[in-house]
Each structure stands twice: as C-alpha cells, then as structure tokens.
Amino acid sequence: MICYGLCVAQKATHAIGWCDKMDIAKEVLNGSRLALSRAITAVENEHDDAVDIMRKLYPHTGRAFVLGITGPPGAGKSTLTDKLAKEFRRRGKTVGIVAVDPTSPFSGGAILGDRIRMNELTLDEGVFIRSMGTRGSLGGLSRKTAETVKIMDAFGKDIIFIETVGVGQSEVDIVSAADTTLVVLVPGLGDDIQAIKAGILEIGDVFAINKADREGADKLNIELNMMLDLDGNKNKEWRPPIKQTVAHQNEGVIELLETLEEHYEQLKSTGQLTTRRTERTKNELLNILKNEIGNYVLGKITESGQFDKLVKDVEGRIDDPYSVVNTIIKDMLK
C-alpha cells in the first residue's frame, strides 16, 4: 500500500519512480488485489504495458469456470449474481465478477449500478468485483471484458461471472466469452414471447425465471418450454433447464447453482468445453488480428494525409468505398 501511495503521488507530479518498474503481472500471480486492479485498468485503458501484462499472465489462464449472465433490463440479474456468488463463497470458491454497465454519455465512465447492488460482496476478500463501461460496444459487453476475465483467472479466481449490460436481444456476445450462459427472464414484461425469442433463446444453456412470485411466471415457463421444443433442443445432449427463482428472497438459488455446475460438468465430460474454448481462442485471435491490421492501415494512410482525400472522393461520389478499401489493401500488400 505504501508503494501504491508513492506511485499515485509520482503520477500526480508526472515523475517516474521505482514503483513504475514493479512487475504487475508477477504481483497478480502472487495474489495482490492491488496489482489485479492495476492490471485491469492498464488493459482497459490500453496503457503501454498492457500487452506485456497479458503475455505474462496468459500461460496461467484457462482454469476458472466462466459464467455469463444475461437477459432483459429489470430481470434482476445483479441480485441473482449477488446471491449465486454468496452461495459459491459458502462452498469455498473464490469469485470474480465483471459487471458491464452502461457508459455515461457525459463522463464516458460506467454507471456503477451493479457495484451498488452487490455492496455486501465488496467486503469479502474472496470476491473481486470490477464494473466496466460498454464504451460504445454493442452485444452487451465491453471490448476489454475477455482480457479482464483472463486477468481474474490468472489471479486464481475459481468462478468468474460476466454480467452483461442488459440490452435485450443484442446481448449475444456473451456466448463467445463464457463457458455457461444463464439467461434471466422475468414475467410481466409485456410480450413474453417477444422478450425471449431469436438470439437470446439460442444462446441460453440454462434459463432462470426470476421474480417467480409474480403473476405470469407459470405462463412464461410454458411458453419458454414450447419455444425450446420448437427450437429442436430436445434432440440435443443438453436441453436447457428452466429454473424459477425469487432472488431477493434467496429462493431457488441453490437449485439454480447446482444446475449451472451440472452443465459445466456435462461440458467437460462430453468434450464440449474444449470445443467452446477452442472456438473462443480462434475468435480472440481473429479479433486481435483485425484490430492490429486496422490500426496499422489507418496509421499509414492518416500519416500520409491520403485518408482525408479518400473520404472526400467517396463523399463526392467520385469513388466508392468498396473500391477504395480494395485499393488500400492492395497498396498495403505490395
């Protein structure tokens, strides 16, 4: 803590001290919560040492059970995450939580509603909560969610929750980031079928009807079962179970947790966990490649001043965007 205080003071005066030379990755592996927080900040803000931190931590990842929690706004995702985390702690598991919040249109920071609702967990040394803003990303996740999960994994967290922002049917990115995806629904949102169709239905490994003490819970359960039947899930090795919970009263939480663990064990026993993680790695490599190539190309054409001219040509209909991009790629490959 003394080192951190000195670092903060030095940063304030733009000085460089020996604390800046601290190996953050090494400290993360040694169990420093301060280093864990600093590592996530470095990655989220794309500091110069972020890539070096991830390189050092990567060999120590791949051990945590990553649990995604998604669903429409108002379904009680944060409350359910809080209760599940507490139950995992009672069973001796350490927990990391990545709560993706909407980004403030004014400050650009995360609106930390989830952190407030999980206030009791912040006092538990076995739990680490990080709120992240979407910063314009679609799909319910922040661009840096995957890296944050890896840092928590390397730190040694047994269970890592990813709670999405709650944007409805566009929250499908979670399936590429989590081992098991829990879709939380709630009765009384109007057109229940509309709320659970398309992508949200397809990505769910387990469904929870939260606030099941409300009128319409049984109706929603029947409709959801019908849609799962139509979707053909009954012929697969795992038919997504539907559990009813009342999270704020801690009802049905233990049963839901055991179902989530059952799915994780099923993934491991059938080899699907390896398949999912291989697909995740492939997508990760492609995303990094696209980002690096895009940054390289953009840097080259902006440095030469060519980009502004190309924009004007496209805007004036002198050229078209497809031909321009094709020309840029050909020039870069020469």
Among 17, 36, 58, the domain boundary falls at 58
Burial of 234-256, coded b for 16+ CB within 10 Å and e otherwise, reads eeeeeebbbbbbbbeeebbbeeb
Quick one: pLDDT band at residue 131, thresholds 50, 70, 90? confident
Same domain, 50 and 81: no
Domain identity same for 162 and 174:
yes
Which of these, 242, 100, 109, lies nearest to 171 by C-alpha position? 100
Task: Specify the number of domains making up the chain.
Answer: 3
Residues 220 and 79 in one domain: yes
Residue 157 has pLDDT above 80, yes or no: yes
What is the average per-residue pLDDT within 14-25?
56
User: pLDDT category, 330, cuts 50, 70, 90?
Assistant: confident
Residue 12: pLDDT band with limits 50, 70, 90: very low
192 shares a domain with 108? yes
- Per the prediction, the chain carries an average pLDDT of 82
Is residue 262 domain-shared with residue 310, that is, in the same domain? no
Mean pLDDT over residues 123-140, rounded? 73
Nearest Cα residue to 207 out of 73, 77, 83, 91: 77
Token digits of residue 4: 């951190």
The CA–CA distances, whole Å, from 334 to 31, 251, 279, 309, 327 equal 48, 64, 32, 21, 11
Using pLDDT thresholds of 50, 70 and 90, give the confidence band for residue 166.
low
Give the integer Cα–Cα distance in Å for 112 and 110: 6
Tell me the backbone φ, ψ of residue 256, rounded to 5 degrees: -65, -45
> What's the length of the chain?
334
Residues 209 and 170 in one domain: yes
pLDDT in tens, 75-85: 899 999 999 99
Q: At residue 4, does pLDDT exceed 50?
A: no
Query: Are 20 and 109 part of one and the same domain?
Result: no
Sheet holding 242-244, edge to edge: 127-133, 95-101, 159-163, 65-70, 180-185, 206-209, 242-244
Closest CA to 44 of 133, 175, 165: 133
Q: What percent of the chain has pLDDT over 90?
A: 49
- Give the pLDDT confidence score for residue 240 in this predicted structure: 93
Shared domain for 77 and 171, answered yes or no, is yes
Q: Are residues 86 and 206 in the same domain?
A: yes
Query: What does the pLDDT read at residue 21?
Result: 46
Query: Is 73 found in the same domain as 124?
Result: yes
Q: Output the pLDDT for position 308.
A: 85
Say whether pLDDT at 125 is over 90. Answer: yes
Is 25:56 a contact under the CB 8 Å cutoff?
yes
Choose between 170 and 27: higher pLDDT: 27
67 lies in the same domain as 51? no
The percentage of residues in the chain with a pLDDT greater than 70, rounded to a whole number, is 78
110 or 323, higher pLDDT? 323
Q: How many CB atoms lie within 10 A of CB 224?
A: 21
Choose from 134-148, 183-197, 250-264, 280-294 the range with maximum mean pLDDT: 250-264
Write the DSSP assignment of 219-284 as a string of letters.
HHHHHHHHHHHHTTGGGSS-PPPEEE-BGGGTBSHHHHHHHHHHHHHHHHHHTHHHHHHHHHHHHH
In this structure, the answer to whether residues 52 and 69 fall within a common structural domain is no
Q: Residue 84: which CATH number?
A: 3.40.50.300
Where is mean pLDDT largest: 122-126, 147-151, 196-200, 330-334?
A: 147-151
Q: In the predicted model, is pLDDT for residue 327 greater than 90?
A: no
pLDDT in tens, 228-287: 887 655 557 899 999 999 999 999 999 999 999 999 999 999 999 999 999 999 988 998
The tens digit of pLDDT for each residue in 71-122 reads 888 889 999 999 999 999 999 999 999 988 755 444 444 444 555 567 778 8
Domain boundary among 58, 85, 101: 58
Domain endpoint, select from 227, 247, 270: 270
Range of the domain at 83: 61-270
